[in-house]
């Protein structure tokens, strides 16, 4: 068996060969290192890129989250806005509901107040009616009570409709006690005067005072009593038309007139400025000229006493029958009281034939006393009512010169109208006025004729002790009228 031959080993002994190998190895290592370096740097770049991408992704996510957060916040804000709107709506609803409830409560309270006031007014009205209905109670019987709280009812200096012959404080009267007396009936109370209630009662109506200067005195009093409740001058007027003076409260369409007709029938004294006091003539069958003025009135207040009084003992008057035109004129001379009866009879006939009992209310004012004879109350006649500052306090006082017979005669004629359903209410103001010797103008009024030397030397000689200062006694006459109109 042949032995296998061993491979031959080639040994390089050349120096050049070793250097090549070393160089090759070095180059190889350099290449490998470079590749490793490049690979590492590539990995770093990739890592960096990855990191950057990751950062970008994170930023995007953050931005997305932020945007999402903003969206969430927007949604939250929207939700909050909706909640606020809903809450506001709820508040409005609750507010409206509360307002409705409050309104209902207020309405209920107002209704309750109205009911209470209505009940109070009704109770007051019933109490007043009760007082008025007492048979034993007479407004005309009583006494004067000093009252500087509720009297006067108005200011004479402020009443733009007052007449100068009764504006005593304007013409120098310094004592004003006469303005502060209140009439207190025995056993009852006068209804408290309320201007607004009276004007409401007179809405779309006409009240006429018919008579002489004392009736005009009462008319001025009533106008001052009501006009004080109408502060706006544009809502009240006064118009003169011959014998007719008309006051109108425009807001109420209420008219309060005065018509000058001192003797009721046609007479030679029908001119309110120019007339003869002592020489008087009436036309017995002529009333229509005057009646045409008051025919359609809703309320008429007649007064006619002063002009039937005798100015001197032998004073008489003339009564004319027929007419000069027809050639049957006749003049008869009669006593003053007989002339009064002729006039009252004719007036009664006219009322019975022409008055609508369902529309018109008729009043006849009692006799207003004068205070020209001071001996009636223990004074000197020469002084008349001059310097009197207090009423007569004696209860039941009746002056010897006060005539009640004319009023009794008028009442007897007016009673004949009752079967026809026509009632003439007498305003019995004589007794209460008789106490008031202090209530006249005396010398404190406008003098239309210059005073003589004799009059200046003796003021009592021209003192007016017939008419009444305002505010004053005629205000009570109108309180009577108010009481009848409102409650009887």
Residue 103 has pLDDT above 50, yes or no: no
Which of the following is catalytic: 290, 371, 440, 467?
A: 467
Residue 128 has pLDDT above 50, yes or no: no
HSE-CB of 369 using CA atoms within 13 angstroms: 27
Section 118-136 average pLDDT: 43
- Global pTM exceeds 0.85: no
Contact indicator for 464, 416 with CB cutoff of 8 Å: no
- pLDDT score, position 276: 73
Contact indicator for 256, 195 with CB cutoff of 8 Å: no
Contact indicator for 244, 293 with CB cutoff of 8 Å: yes
The percent of residues in the chain predicted with pLDDT above 70, rounded, is: 72
Catalytic annotation on 440?
no
Which of the following is catalytic: 169, 434, 464, 475?
A: 464
Q: Which of 442, 466, 474 has its CA nearest to residue 159?
A: 474
pLDDT digits (tens, 9 = 90+) for 343-361: 999 999 999 999 999 999 9
- pLDDT score, position 89: 53
Query: Could you please report the per-residue DSSP string of 48-116?
Result: HHHHHHHHHHHHHHHHHHHHHHHHHHHHHHHHHHHHHHHHHHHHHHHHHHHHHHHHHHHHHHHHHHHHH
Residue 326: which pLDDT band, with cuts at 50, 70 and 90?
confident
Residue 68: which pLDDT band, with cuts at 50, 70 and 90?
very low
pLDDT digits (tens, 9 = 90+) for 178-206: 999 999 999 999 999 999 999 999 999 99
- pLDDT score, position 479: 98
pLDDT digits (tens, 9 = 90+) for 241-292: 999 999 999 999 999 999 999 999 999 999 999 887 778 999 999 999 999 9
Q: Which residues are CB-neighbours of 157 under 8 A, at least 6 positions away?
A: 167, 169, 170
Measure the CA angle with vertex 318, ends 317 and 321; round to 5°.
150
The whole-angstrom separation of Cα 119 and Cα 277 is 54
pLDDT digits (tens, 9 = 90+) for 368-420: 999 999 999 999 999 999 999 999 999 989 888 888 889 999 999 999 999 99
The whole-angstrom separation of Cα 270 and Cα 282 is 10
Residue 305 has pLDDT above 80, yes or no: yes
The whole-angstrom separation of Cα 170 and Cα 444 is 8
Residue 291 to residues 170, 244, 335, 349, 456: CA-CA distances in angstroms? 36, 12, 25, 12, 42
- pLDDT score, position 91: 53
- pLDDT score, position 79: 39
Which of the following is catalytic: 131, 212, 213, 304?
A: 213
The whole-angstrom separation of Cα 142 and Cα 58 is 112
Catalytic annotation on 464?
yes
Q: What is the mean pLDDT of the chain?
A: 81
- pLDDT score, position 80: 54
**Which structure tokens are listed for 87?**
């809450």
Partner residues linked to 365 by β-bridges: 427
- pLDDT score, position 87: 53
- pLDDT score, position 126: 40
Give a three-class secondary structure readout of 132-159: HHCCCCEEEEEEEEECCCCCCCCCCCCC
Catalytic annotation on 233?
no
SS3 363: strand
Among left, alpha and beta (phi > 0; psi -120 to 50; other), residue 250 is: alpha
The whole-angstrom separation of Cα 240 and Cα 337 is 32
Q: Which of 431, 263, 434 has its CA nearest to residue 336?
A: 263
């Amino acid at each position: 068996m042949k032995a296998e031959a061993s491979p031959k080993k080639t040994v390089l002994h050349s120096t050049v060969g070793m250097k090549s190998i070393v160089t090759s190895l070095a180059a190889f290592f350099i290449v490998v290192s470079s590749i490793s370096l490049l690979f590492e740097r590539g990995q770093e770049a990739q890592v960096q890129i990855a990191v950057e991408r990751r950062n970008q992704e994170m930023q995007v996510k953050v931005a997305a989250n932020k945007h999402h957060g903003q969206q969430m916040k927007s949604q939250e804000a929207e939700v909050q806005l909706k909640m606020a709107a809903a809450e506001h709506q709820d508040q409005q609803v609750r507010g409206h509901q509360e307002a409705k409830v409050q309104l209902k409560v207020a309405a209920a309270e107002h209704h309750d107040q109205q009911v209470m006031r209505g009940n109070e007014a009704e109770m007051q009205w019933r109490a007043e009616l009760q007082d008025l209905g007492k048979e034993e109670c007479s407004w005309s019987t009583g006494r004067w009570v000093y009252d500087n709280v509720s009297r006067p009812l108005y200011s004479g200096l402020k009443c733009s409709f007052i007449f100068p012959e009764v504006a005593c404080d304007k013409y120098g009267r310094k004592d004003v006690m006469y303005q502060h007396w209140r009439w207190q009936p025995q056993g009852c109370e006068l209804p408290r005067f309320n201007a607004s209630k009276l004007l409401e009662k007179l809405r779309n109506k006409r009240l006429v005072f018919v008579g002489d200067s004392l009736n005009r005195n009462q008319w001025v009093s009533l106008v001052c009593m009501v006009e004080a409740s109408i502060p706006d001058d544009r809502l009240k007027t006064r118009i003169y038309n011959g014998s007719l003076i008309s006051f109108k409260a425009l807001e109420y369409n209420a008219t309060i007139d005065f018509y000058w007709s001192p003797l009721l029938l046609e007479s030679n004294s029908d001119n309110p400025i120019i007339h003869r006091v002592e020489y008087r003539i009436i036309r017995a069958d002529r009333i229509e000229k005057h009646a045409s003025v008051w025919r359609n009135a809703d309320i008429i207040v007649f007064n006619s006493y002063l002009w039937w009084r005798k100015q001197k003992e032998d004073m008489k008057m003339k009564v004319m029958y027929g007419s000069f035109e027809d050639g049957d004129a006749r003049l008869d001379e009669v006593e003053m009281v007989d002339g009064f009866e002729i006039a009252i009879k004719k007036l009664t006939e006219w009322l019975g034939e022409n008055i609508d009992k369902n529309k018109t209310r008729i009043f006849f004012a009692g006799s207003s006393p004068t205070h020209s004879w001071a001996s009636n109350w223990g004074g000197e006649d020469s002084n008349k009512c001059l310097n009197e500052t207090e009423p007569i306090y004696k209860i039941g006082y009746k002056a010897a010169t006060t005539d009640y017979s004319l009023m009794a005669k008028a009442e007897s004629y007016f009673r004949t109208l009752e079967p026809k359903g026509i009632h003439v209410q007498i305003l019995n103001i004589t007794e209460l006025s008789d106490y008031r010797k202090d209530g006249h103008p005396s010398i404190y009024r406008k003098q239309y004729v210059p005073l003589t030397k004799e009059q200046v030397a003796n003021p009592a000689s021209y003192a007016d002790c017939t008419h009444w200062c305002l505010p004053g006694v005629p205000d009570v006459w109108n309180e009577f009228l108010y009481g009848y109109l409102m409650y009887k």
